[in-house]
Amino acid sequence: MKKTLFTTWVLCLLLLQTQAQFAPQAGVIGTTAMHKDSSAFIAWAKSGIISRGWQDVSDTTLGKAQVGDETYIPGPAGNGIVSLGDGGAAIITFEKPIKNGAGFDFAVFENGFIDQTLKPGTAFLELAFVEVSSDGINYFRFPSTCLNDTTTQIDTYEGIDATKLNNLAGKYIANYGTPFDLEEFKNTPGLDVMNITHVKIIDVVGSITNKFTTRDNYGNKVNDPWPTPFSQSGFDLDAVGVIHQNNNVGLTEIVTKQHQMNVYPNPASTQTNIKVNIDGINDAMVNVYTQLGKLVKTSNINTPINLDESGVYYLQVNTNGTIYTQKITVF
């Protein structure tokens, strides 16, 4: 009897999930889309680190996505995009931390669109997972849902119904941000929802082929237009807008600009003493990240850093609420 009740409960849960309807596309009653000019936005991303994905993960001979770079990340939506490619990621930082307030706390913008070639009620959308961190090391992913049919691959130029998507960046068309609410992480160990310093955007890889597929919080394959074997491939990050920020963080008077953090030599060879200097900062920790955002070394700013393997790294210093980031190549 208990087994029968459990089976019935599982089937009901699955049925409710498949019938779920989430907020509709921008411009439709009930949407949660936020226009880039909304007065709700009080700040925008200040900097970011990009880790490119392949133009087509099933054919790596095409190389990686190429459109845009880190300079397109700061500022309001509409100033250019950065293509992440299949499985690519961007780690975004801010002048002041994002905090959990009433309602949505930040929004992610992509460049989806609607035109006459698409099935009515759909839009061309490229999706991404969203994660947040309050220390730049431990990240927590918003629980996402994708109810797109997975028996047939959504092709390169096909549209998607926004009502089948939840907590996935790119749900809305260009100039309309997909909002996220930190309340979902309230009381989560290891995350301070009043002090979110990093937001990570990760392209979903929209393939339904088991070898490449990515899945939502319920184990569903995330099916979106794929492949997109172009230099502008995968999720196209436009901007990240802040709705609630922590103004109680004591910021220094130094404006966060990359040139104020000096890293030398750059480029450097392996085992070379790499030195970091920021005017006025004599005691701080330097975190060294790979292109994938993995922390590989932590050192005091006064101690030279040695890296054993060649590659591209990002050196980051977070002091008094101000975040400094510098890219370095090791050969």
Q: What is the residue-wise DSSP string for 285-296?
A: EEEEEETT--EE
Tell me the mean pLDDT per 10 residues along the chain, length 331.
46 48 96 97 95 96 96 94 97 94 98 96 98 91 97 97 98 98 95 95 98 97 97 98 85 40 86 86 85 80 89 81 80 79
- Residue partners of 75: CB distance under 8 A and separation at least 6: 44, 45, 239
Question: pLDDT value at position 9?
Answer: 42
* Residue 232 identity (one-letter amino acid): Q
pLDDT of residue 316: 85
pLDDT value for 90: 96
Residue type, 148: N
Cα(164)–Cα(125) distance, rounded to whole angstroms?
Answer: 12
Cis, bond preceding 227 (omega within 30 deg of 0): yes
Q: Which domains does the chain have, with CATH numbers?
A: 20-242 (no CATH), 258-330 (2.60.40.10)
The DSSP output letter for 210 is T
Q: How far is CA 322 from the centre of its chain?
A: 20
| Structure confidence at residue 269 (pLDDT) | 83
pLDDT of residue 6: 44
